[in-house]
Amino acid sequence: MKAFTLTLSFFFILTGVYAQKIEFSVQANSGFFRYAGKTATAESYIQQGPPNTPNHTNSPYGSKSGFGYGGSLQGQFVSECGFIAGVQAGYEEMKSKVDINGILLYNISYDYLPGANFVQAPPVAAKGETYLKNKFINVSPYVGYRIGLKKMKLDLMPGIDLGFALSTYENGKATTSDGNNTTVQTGLKHDKAPTDARLKFGAALIYNRFGLTASYARGLTNYRGNIIGDANFEAHSELMRFGVSYRLN
């Protein structure tokens, strides 16, 4: 708590605004996470690996939203005129979704054509989904304004969102539709996602010590930026969060 207060104090000094009071609160939220950009896709296929090699989704960066959850601690200064300066920090698990429409089975992955090289066979039609899950430590500084309503307060909080990735996992499952009902799963640890810098706008409707929160964040970081020389590899995050808060003081 002391370190958190010092961080807030430094942020407050930068604003040059005299604070009337300091508020600390805890928050719990759920939300939806997806990817947007040239590499983000609604559908993909699972490629079955050879023995002792993990299966993987050809393009796991889903443009469909997956469900996530998290919790955070918030501290903010509120001036007499309603100006707000604060920081949120917490833990979050978010995942995107991509529908699986095929499986590239290992035992029929290549057909031999006389006089030609080995040619990859098309995936077998299938149905399923893959989730790409990221675990983050989030730090979100913001400035904003408090609007007084009858018996309630509305805090408007534009700022930035920094997601420091702890791990990235792919989990998928699909079953072929060719009558054989072959099921293939993925459970693959990826290189952890890059630090995700996002633009964020949040709002909180507060009654006494309790609040309802909502926010939208758009990522500026390219999750496929490690692929050099091809501008088509681009995927950035989009998040919607909804939650509840309780003021501690």
Q: Rg of the chain's alpha carbons, rounded to an integer? A: 23
| Chain segment 110-152, per-residue pLDDT in tens | 444 455 455 567 889 999 999 999 999 999 999 999 999 889 9
| Chain segment 147-203, per-residue pLDDT in tens | 998 899 999 999 999 999 999 999 999 999 988 888 999 999 999 999 999 999 999
98: which residues sit within 8 A by CB, 6+ positions away? 41, 42, 43, 44, 57, 59, 60, 61, 62, 63, 64, 129, 130, 132
Q: What is the mean pLDDT of the chain?
A: 88
- Scan for tokens 């893959």, then name that residue: 130
CATH class of 2-247: mainly beta
What pTM did the predictor assign?
Answer: 0.84
On the question of pLDDT at 239 being above 70, the answer is: yes
- Residue 169 in contact with residue 188, Cβ under 8 Å? yes
Within 10 angstroms of residue 203's Cβ, the number of other Cβ atoms is 17
